[in-house]
A and B are shown apart, each in its own frame.
Chain A
C-alpha cells in the first residue's frame, strides 16, 4: 500500500458529513491531517474547544457522527480515487493552492481542482446571477463572458443554470482567457446534470475548483459557501440578473465584506429577476452596460469594437410593432393590446422583423434580438 500524504488524509476529512470549511479549518488547525483522522476515528473529534465551538449546538453528536462515518472510509482508497481522476488536492501553503484564497477572511482548508491552475494567473471577474434568467439576462451574461475573455480577463462563475452557464459559454466561445468555475459538489458529481458537456469544456480549457472531495453531493449548504470562494477569487463581481431572494445575494455580501467591486446589470423595473440588481444600482453600485464598463472598473479600457449593425431598418409597418415590444418579453396578445393594432397587422410586422433579425420568438414569447 502506498504511503498516504497529508493531502489524502485531509481529503478524507473533507468528505465527512457536515464537514464544512469552518470545521475543517478548526480540525486542521489543532492537529496534522493524519493525527486528526485518528482522533475522529476514535470519536474524540470534538475534544478540543476550538473544534467543539464550530460544532455547536451538539459537539458530542457531531463527533459520534464522524466516528461512525470514518469507519466506513478507506483513506487510501479515497486518495487513490483522486489520483486516478486527475483531481489535484491542495492544502493552504502547499503547491497549487490559490494565493488569494490563502489570505482570505475565511480561507478554504482544502481545495480540489481539475484543469490548469495557471488559469488563475491574471485579472479575474466574477459573473453571477439567477438560474431562472430571462433571455435578456442570458444574452447579456454570454456577451459579457465573451467580451471579457477576449480581453484577457478570467471569467469566474459557478456553472449553474442560467446566468452562470451563459457566462462560461461566452468565455469559451471567445477562445480567449481560460474560464474558472467554482462548483458546490464533488468534481465528479456534475450538477446541474444538463451542464455535463459545459463542465468538461471548462475543465479542458480552464479550471474547475471545489472545496468538496470526489463523490460529495450538491447539498444546499454548499452553495453559499461556494459563493464566498467566487467572491474571494474575483476582483470585480458582476450581477446580471437576480431576484430579491436569489443566491447571488450571498456572493454580493461576501464580495462587499472582502472589499471587492460589485457591479450590476440594469434590468426592467417590472422584471422580478432584475429587482435585486436594480436595488444594487439604487444603493450605489456601478452599472454594467457592456464589457467596457467592467474593463474601466479594472483600470483597463480596450475592448474590440462591435461590428456595425447590418440589419435592414424597420419599415413603417414594423416600427410600431418594435416600439410596442419595448425591451421586455411579450406575447402576441400583449403586443396587440399595447399597440391597438389588429392581430393581422401585428403578425405581418412580427414576421418581417423576425426575418430581418430584429426579434426572436421562444415558446410564444417575443423579444428584441440584440
Chain B
C-alpha cells in the first residue's frame, strides 16, 4: 500500500511543499527515510515509532519506505513527523485514505504521542495548497494568519485519529490570549526633554526612511531617542505585515497576541553579534539574521563602533538592495531586509570627545582608530548624522515635557502618504533621476547647495541625499511643492561630517 500526505519544509523564510510518500510492503521489517532528510528529520523514524506505540497503535512488522519528494531539496526539522505518522497509518490500512484527502499536516511528535510546535508555521502553512491544515494547538493563531486554509488542531495522535475517523469532533482551538488593551505601550517621545535636534532627526528618519547615526557622549540620550522611533512609524499593512510575520515565525521569534506582526519590529543586537547572526545563514538550516528580523522596522545598533568592522561592512549591500542573498554550498536563500538603520556611537573611546572642547582624553591615534571602524561607504549611507549633546540641567529637571509621540506619528503618516503618491514607500527610495521632478529646488535652495558644492563641502552624490532629506522635511511641514532654502539648510545641518580626515594638527 502507498499513501501520499502533503506537508512542507522551510528554506530560509519561505516554505517549500513536500509530498510525504509512505510505502508499506512485505519483506524484512525495516523503516527507511529517503529524499535528502537532515539529521533531525531522519530521527523522526524513532519518534514516529515510539509515538504510535504509546498511542496504542500497532507497529507493523513490514518493510516501510518513506520518501520526501521532491528529493532534490534538503529537508530539515521535525515538522515532518506528523505527516509521516499519518502516512504510515494510511499505508498500513489503519486509516481510510479518504479521511485525510485534502488535508496537510505539520507537527513534531513526542514519544508519548503528543503533537508539538515547530518554528516557521506561517511560511509552512502558506506553502500548502490543501483545503485543511492540521497543526499543533499552540500554533493555531500563527497558522490562521495566512487565511487561505481551514485550520484544525490536535494535541495528540489519539485525538487526531479519532477526529479523522469521525469518532469524535475536532478539538477546539485554544482560546486566543486576551489582547492587551494598550498596544504594548511603546515608549513615548514626551519623555525626552530638550534634545530639539535629536527629536527632529528621529522624526525625519521615521518619515523618510533615512538611516540615522546618533553620536554623542554617554548619557546624552541616544538610546532613549532611538527606542522611540518605532512608535513613530505607521503600523504594517498587507504584504509587509505578512512578510514580517513569516520572517519572525521562521526565526522562531514569539509573535504578538494577534498572530500578525503589525507593529514595526525593533531589533537591537548586542555589539558582540557575528556577521552570520546579523546577516542570516547558518549551516544546517538557514536562519534569517537580525537585519531580516527588522524588515519593515528599525535595526538599532548601539555602540556601533564596537561592532567588528567586517560585520559592519557586511551591512552595506543589504542597505542598498533591501534583500540579502545568503549563499552556501547547498543552497542560496534570499531574505527580505528593508530596514531603517539607526546607529549610536560615542565620538571617541572616552566618550567626551569631539575635538571641539578639548575635554577628550583620548590619544589622537586611538580616536582615529575608533572612527575608522565606520568605513566611509557605510558612513555615507547615513543620510542623517547628528551630534547629540547632554541636555542642560534646566530642561531635564524642570522643563516642559516635549511633544508626545502621537502628533509626531500623525505628521510622519501624512509624509509617508505623500511619498506613496510619488510611487515610493518613503523618500529615501526616490530615484536620483526623478529628483528634479519630485523635489524641485527654489532659487534660494539651489544657491545654498551650489555654495556647498563649490567650496568642496559636499559631493555630487551628497547633493542627492540632501535633496531627499529636504523633501522629507518639506513633506513633514505639509508642503508638497518645491523644496526651499530652510528645508535644505536643515537637511545640511542634520548631516554632520562625523569622522573627518583629521586635519594635520
Contacts A337-B392, A363-B496 given; does A343 touch B196 at CB 8 Å = yes
CB of A364 within 8 A of CB of B498, answer yes
CB within 8 Å for A351 and B448 given contacts A138-B505, A332-B197, A336-B197: yes
A332 to B196, CA, bound (A): 10
Give the distance in Å from the alpha carbon of A367 to the alpha carbon of B355 in the complex.
Answer: 11
B-binding segment of A90-98, A128-136, A173-181, A279-287: A128-136
Q: Which residue of A lies closest to B496 (CB)?
A: A364
Contact yes or no, B498 A363, CB < 8 A: yes
Contact of B357 among A271, A343, A345 (CB under 8 A): A271
**A337 adjacent to B358 (CB under 8 Å):** no
Interchain CA distance A134-B354 in the complex, whole Å:
10
Q: In whole angstroms, what is the CA distance A68 to B426 when docked?
A: 74
The reply to whether the CB of B332 lies closer than 8 angstroms to some CB of chain A is no
Judging by beta carbons under 8 Å apart, are B504 and A165 in contact? yes
B322-330, B335-343, B484-492 - the one binding chain A:
B484-492
- A348, B505: Cβ atoms under 8 Å? no
Binds B, one of A111-119, A249-257, A292-300, A323-331: A323-331
User: By CB atoms of chain B within 10 A, which of A135, A194, A350, A351 has the most?
Assistant: A351
A350 to B451, CA, bound (A): 13
A4 to B198 CA separation, bound complex (whole angstroms): 70
| Chain A neighbourhood of B493, CB < 8 A | 332, 343, 346-347, 350-351
Cβ < 8 Å to B, chain A residues 12-52: none
B364 at the interface (CB under 8 A from A): yes
Question: Is there contact, CB below 8 Å, between A131 and B505?
Answer: yes
Q: Which residues of B contact A290 (CB under 8 A)?
A: none
Mark contacts of B146-174 with chain A using CB atoms, 8 A cut-off: 1 yes-contact digit, 0 otherwise.
00000000000000000000000000000
Residue of B nearest to A328 (CB): B357
In the complex, A172 Cα to B364 Cα: how many Å? Answer: 25
B215 at the interface (CB under 8 A from A): yes
Please, how many angstroms separate the alpha-carbon atoms of A131 and B367 in the complex? Answer: 14
What separation, in Å, do the CA atoms of A336 and B503 have in the docked complex?
Answer: 27
Q: Does B71 contact A (CB under 8 A)?
A: no
Residues of B near A205 (CB, < 8 A) are none
| Interface pair A332/B505, CB less than 8 Å apart | no
Contact pick for B505, options A133, A362, A367, CB 8 Å: A133
B388 at the interface (CB under 8 A from A): yes
Given A133-B505, A161-B364, A363-B498, answer yes or no on A333-B386 (Cβ-Cβ < 8 Å): yes
Kindly supply a per-residue 1/0 record for chain B positions 494-505, scoring 1 wherever the CB is within 8 Å of any chain A CB and 0 otherwise.
101111100111
Chain B residues with CB under 8 Å of A165's CB are 504-505
B226 contacts chain A at the CB level, 8 A cutoff: no
Q: Which residues of B contact A194 (CB under 8 A)?
A: 504-505
Bitwise interface map of A from 155 to 172 toward B, beta carbon under 8 Å scored 1, else 0: 000000110011000000
> Smallest distance from the beta carbon of A183 to chain B beta carbons, Å?
16
B360 within 8 A of partner (CB): yes
Q: Which residue of B lies closest to A336 (CB)?
A: B196
Considering only residues 319-361 of chain A, those with a C-beta below 8 Å from chain B are 328-334, 336-337, 342-348, 350-351, 355, 361
In the complex, which of the residues B195, B354, B388, B391 contacts A363, with contact meaning CB atoms closer than 8 Å? B354
Give the Cβ gap from A216 to chain B, nearest Cβ, in Å: 22
Query: Could you say which of B354, B387, B448 has the most chain A C-beta atoms within 10 Å of its C-beta?
Result: B387
Residue of B nearest to A330 (CB): B356
Q: Determine if B358 and A272 form an interchain contact, defined as CB atoms under 8 angstroms apart.
A: yes
CB neighbours of A273 from chain B (8 A): 358
Q: For B485, what are the chain A residues with a Cβ–Cβ distance below 8 Å?
A: 348, 351
Q: Are A362 and B500 in contact (CB under 8 A)?
A: yes
Residues of A near B355 (CB, < 8 A) are 134-135, 362-363, 365
Chain A residue numbers with a CB within 8 Å of B389 are: 331, 333-334, 337
Q: Does A241 contact B (CB under 8 A)?
A: yes
B386 touches A272 (CB 8 A): no
Q: Are B197 and A361 in contact (CB under 8 A)?
A: no
Q: How far is the CB of A214 from chain B (nearest CB, A)?
A: 25
Given contacts A344-B486, A351-B448, contact A337 B498 (CB under 8 A): no
B266 to chain A, nearest CB (A): 24
Asked whether, in the complex, the Cβ of A343 is within 8 Å of the Cβ of B505, the reply is no
Supposing A342-B196, A348-B485, A351-B492 touch, asked if A363 and B358 sit within 8 A by C-beta, the answer is no
A329 to B360, CA, bound (A): 13
Complex Cα gap A329–B359 (Å): 12
Interface presence of B395 (CB below 8 A): yes
Q: Are B354 and A365 in contact (CB under 8 A)?
A: yes
Residues in A with CB closer than 8 Å to B494 are 332, 343, 347
Cβ–Cβ < 8 Å partners of B385 in chain A: 364
**Inter-chain contacts of B360 with A (CB < 8 A):** 132
B136 at the interface (CB under 8 A from A): no
How many Å lie between the Cα of A228 and that of B385 in the bound state?
45
CB-CB < 8 A to A138: which residues of B?
Answer: 505
Pair A134/B358 contact, Cβ less than 8 Å = yes
Question: Which chain B residues border A333 with CB–CB below 8 Å?
Answer: 195-198, 386-389
Asked if A132 and B358 make an inter-chain contact with CB atoms under 8 angstroms apart, the answer reads yes
Check A332–B496 contact: CB distance below 8 A: yes
CB distance from A131 to the nearest CB of B (A): 7
| Residues from chain A with Cβ under 8 Å of B490 in the complex | 343-344, 347-348
In chain B, residues 368-417, which have Cβ atoms closer than 8 Å to a Cβ of chain A? 385-389, 391-392, 395
* A133 and B358 contact, CB distance less than 8 A: yes
Mark contacts of A48-88 with chain B using CB atoms, 8 A cut-off: 1 yes-contact digit, 0 otherwise.
Answer: 00000000000000000000000000000000000000000
Residue of chain B at shortest CB distance from A137? B358
Q: Give the chain B neighbours of A348 by CB distance below 8 A.
A: 485-486, 489-490
Question: Does B119 count as interface, using CB distance less than 8 angstroms?
Answer: no
Question: In the bound complex, do residue B357 and residue A364 qualify as a contact, i.e. CB atoms below 8 Å apart?
Answer: no
Mask, B197-214, CB within 8 Å of A = 1, is: 110100000000000000
Contact assessment for B489 and A365 in the assembled complex, using a CB-CB cutoff below 8 Å: no
B194 sits at the interface (CB 8 A)? yes
Neighbouring B residues of A347 by C-beta, 8 Å: 486, 489-490, 492-494
Most-contacted residue by chain A among B358, B385, B486 (CB, 10 A): B358
In the bound complex, residues from chain A placing their C-beta under 8 Å from that of B194 are 337
Interface pair A363/B497, CB less than 8 Å apart: yes
Q: Which residue of B lies closest to A363 (CB)?
A: B500
Are B489 and A351 neighbours in the complex by a CB distance under 8 Å?
yes
Cβ contacts under 8 Å, A346 to chain B: 493
The CB with the most chain A CB atoms within 10 A, among B198, B359, B360, B494, is that of B359
Which B residues between 1 and 39 are near A, CB-CB below 8 angstroms? none
Q: Is the CB of A272 within 8 A of B359?
A: yes
Roughly how many angstroms separate A18 CA and B489 CA in the complex, as a whole number? 59
Q: Which residues of B contact A (CB under 8 A)?
A: 194-198, 200, 215, 347, 354-360, 364, 385-389, 391-392, 395, 448, 451, 473, 485-486, 488-490, 492-494, 496-500, 503-505
A134-B357, A337-B392 known; 8 new pairs, CB 8 Å cut-off, are A134-B355, A134-B356, A330-B356, A333-B389, A334-B389, A344-B473, A344-B490, A351-B489
A-B contact pairs, 25 of them (CB 8 A): A133-B505, A161-B364, A165-B505, A195-B504, A198-B504, A271-B357, A272-B358, A272-B359, A331-B389, A333-B196, A334-B389, A336-B197, A337-B194, A337-B392, A343-B196, A343-B197, A344-B486, A347-B490, A348-B489, A350-B489, A351-B488, A355-B451, A361-B497, A362-B356, A364-B215
Listed from nearest, the 3 A-B pairs whose CB atoms lie closest are A329-B356, A365-B356, A364-B496
Interface residues of A (CB under 8 A from B): 130-135, 137-138, 161-162, 165-166, 194-195, 198, 241, 243, 271-273, 328-334, 336-337, 342-348, 350-351, 355, 361-365, 367
